[in-house]
Amino acid sequence: MPASQTSRTFGASTTAAEVIDGVDLHGRRAVVTGASSGIGVETARALAAAGADVTLAVRNTETGARVVAKLEAELSPSAGKLTVGRLDLADRSTVGQFVAGWQGPLHILVNNAGLMAPPELTRTPDGHELQFAVNHLGHFALATGLRRALASADGARVVSVSSIGHLFSPVVFDDIDYRFRPYDPWTSYGQSKTANALFAVGAAERWADDGITANAVMPGNVGETNLSRTTDMEQVGAMLAAGAFALPPGKTVAQGAATSVLLAASPTVQGVTGRYFEDCAEAQPVAERGTAVAGVAPYALNADNAARLWALSEQLVG
């Protein structure tokens, strides 16, 4: 383990560059979803800076190509190769195409892409509520489709980007797609983020024999991302003013990417799996939402919930 890793304490203000300092990823291959903006770009930057060959899995490949050009101009000649792959998590055909086109081992998969709280109920062409479909089902299909590639990497890591927003709701198994209850953008978001955490628990259980670790992360309150592109920010302001919820302290994009990079590449968490991290450390459990701005709900790490979600997800993605 590099000395710079063993002697350093990571925390809320740590940046992705600080986490990756001293780590050599040459010869490793990584996929980062949603790497055309925000935290995804910074995650890709850090992994490539350490030498990993990184594929930016994005909806808009033209935007992805511009990001690659910018990163290549900024990174050193020793950085890993950057490429772009098309991936629309709401369109299962593109997930299948991405999986079919992948050749060779995959050492790092960061399921980073997502959307937050669209005000109106929207369904994908196959009938699933959009947030659950994009944030969870699309990533589930991607990760399970790439399992052989991950297994062949001998020590692969999967990072599932969740959120403090998971405290808004557990997975409501009897009505995931809001066919019986009124749609609410925030419980829908919370359900999908709980699913992200439960995916890590399920993958950790099922893939341990393949040497694959899987963990969930809370990036933090990062304003400079496209996550809120579908969010009614006036509603957010009203909810904050009414005390309906509170936000954690703000972070820069570089700080927001740090926990993802920690779980993706740092030797300090070698072998750690099935956990939920925030501020570059394992999160503490919380008993109720209230105005909590940190921590993880027990239902998001429950093994029975994870098993139920895994079986349902297999059924839903075919």
**Residues taking part in catalysis:** 189
* CA separation for the pair 105, 27 (Å, rounded): 10
- CB of 145 within 8 A of CB of 169? no
Q: Which long-range contacts (CB under 8 A, 24 or more apart) does 172-176 make?
A: 173/308, 173/309, 173/312, 176/128, 176/129, 176/132, 176/312
Q: Residues near 158 by Cβ (< 8 Å), separated by ≥ 6?
A: 108, 109, 110, 111, 143, 150, 200, 203, 212, 213, 214, 215
DSSP class of residue 283?
P
* CA separation for the pair 17, 10 (Å, rounded): 11
Triad 19, 23, 26: Cα angle to 5° = 135
Question: In 3D, which of 57, 62, 103, 102 has the Cα closest to residue 82?
Answer: 57
* CA separation for the pair 116, 240 (Å, rounded): 16
